Amino acid sequence: MTISVIIPSYNAARLLPNAVDSVLRQTRPADEVIVVDDGSTDDTAEVCRGLDRRVRYIRRENGGLSAARNTGLAASTGEWFLSLDADDVLYPQALQALSEKADSCEAGVVYGYVLQRREPAVETRIASQAYAVGLPPDPARAQFWWTAINTAGCALVRRSLNDDVGGFDEHFRQVEDCEYWLRCGVISPFAHCDQIVLDKSYSPSSLGQNVEGSTWFRLQLQLKFLLWCEDRNIDTTFLNVSKADLINHALTRIYRQRTWSLLGPVLEQARRQNALTLRYWIALAHYGLRRSLGRNSSPSTRIKEVYRNWMTDKNSASARS
C-alpha cells in the first residue's frame, strides 16, 4: 500500500515544522508528504522553502480546511491518505500501526487513539475511542450525534472511498470531518488500531472549541447527510430520527451551553423544516421574551444553511450535465 500525508496549513508557520517532522520521523515512512498553504498571510511560504526536500509545497487561495484537503488529495497519488492538521503531531509508530491494521482488514477507514490536550492545561484525555468500528451503517450510526473520530489526523482513508463519497464538503468551515465520516460510515467498514497515534492540542481560540459553530454546523451536517443518503437511495431508518429530533437536539444544546445567539437561526430552521415541536414553542416564547428585554444578539458564527447550499450546487451541476 502507498500512503500520502496531506498537511493543510493556514497561518501556522510557527507550528508547521513540528507537524512535518513528525511525519518524516515515522517508523513506516509516508510515500509522499504534501503541505497545502491555504492562502496564509504569515511566513508559511518561507518556512516551507526550508523544509525537507521530500515535502511538496502547494499554495492556493484561502478556501478553508476542506478545500485545502481536497487540493492536497487532487495532487496526491497514494492508495491511502492521512490529513494532518498543521498544529498536530503524529506519534512515530502511527503510520505503521494504522497501515498494519489496514492490511489486515477490508475497512475503508482505519483510526487510532488521540492524546487530546486543552489549554489552559485543565484536561488531558484519550479521544477517538473504538465505538465507530464495524460494517456499514454502524460507523455512521455511532457518529450521527457525537463524533467518534475527533480529528482527521488519526485516520487512514482509502482513496477509492474518498472518491466515492466526493471528498470533503467545502461548504463547511467547522465540523467538516464529522460530516465526512458520516458519508464514509454509511458505505464502508471502519476499523480501529489499539494505539495512540496522534498528539492534538486545543486552545480556547481553536476552531473546534467554538461551541456556537459546533451546534449550528452539527444540525447542518445532519440535515445534509439525510439528503445525501436520499439522493443515493440509501435507507436511513437505522438512525430512527426525524427532523424534529434534530431541531430538539440543537435547542437542547443551546440551552445547555447558553448560546442564546443561535435561538433565532435554529427557530427559523425549525419553521423551514416544519418541525414545530413543543420545545420549539417553548423556545419561541423565550426568544420573544429576550427580544422584549433587548437581550437577543446575532451569532458570531457565519450562519450558512449548508445543506441548502449543497442541494443548490448539486442541482446546478445536474443541470449543466
Contact 244, 283 (CB under 8 A): no
User: Cell numbers 449543466 label which residue?
Assistant: 320
For strand 32-38 and strand 55-60, is the pairing parallel, antiparallel, or unpaired?
A: parallel
Domain ranges across the chain: 3-209, 211-311
Q: Which of 47-51, 92-96, 99-103, 206-210 bottoms out in mean pLDDT, i.e. has the lowest?
A: 206-210
Range 120-126 average pLDDT: 68
pLDDT, residue 316, reads: 57
Range 114-143 average pLDDT: 85
Render pLDDT for 55-65 as a digit per residue (tens, 0 to 9). Answer: 999 999 999 99
Would you say residue 249 has pLDDT above 80? yes
pLDDT, residue 209, reads: 54
**The CATH classification of domain 3-209, taken from the options 2.40.30.20, 3.40.50.300, 3.90.550.10, 3.30.43.10:** 3.90.550.10
172 grid coordinates? 463547511
pLDDT, residue 176, reads: 87
Give the model's confidence band at 217: pLDDT under 50 very low, under 70 low, under 90 confident, else very high: confident
Tally Cβ neighbours within 10 Å of residue 321.
5
Give the Cα separation of 159 and 100 in Å (integer).
Answer: 17
Range 184-194 average pLDDT: 97
Give the model's confidence band at 205: pLDDT under 50 very low, under 70 low, under 90 confident, else very high: very low
Would you say residue 319 has pLDDT above 80? no
More confident residue, 316 or 158: 158
Give the model's confidence band at 296: pLDDT under 50 very low, under 70 low, under 90 confident, else very high: confident
pLDDT, residue 143, reads: 93
More confident residue, 319 or 99: 99
- The C-alpha angle 195, 34, 202, rounded to 5 degrees, equals 50
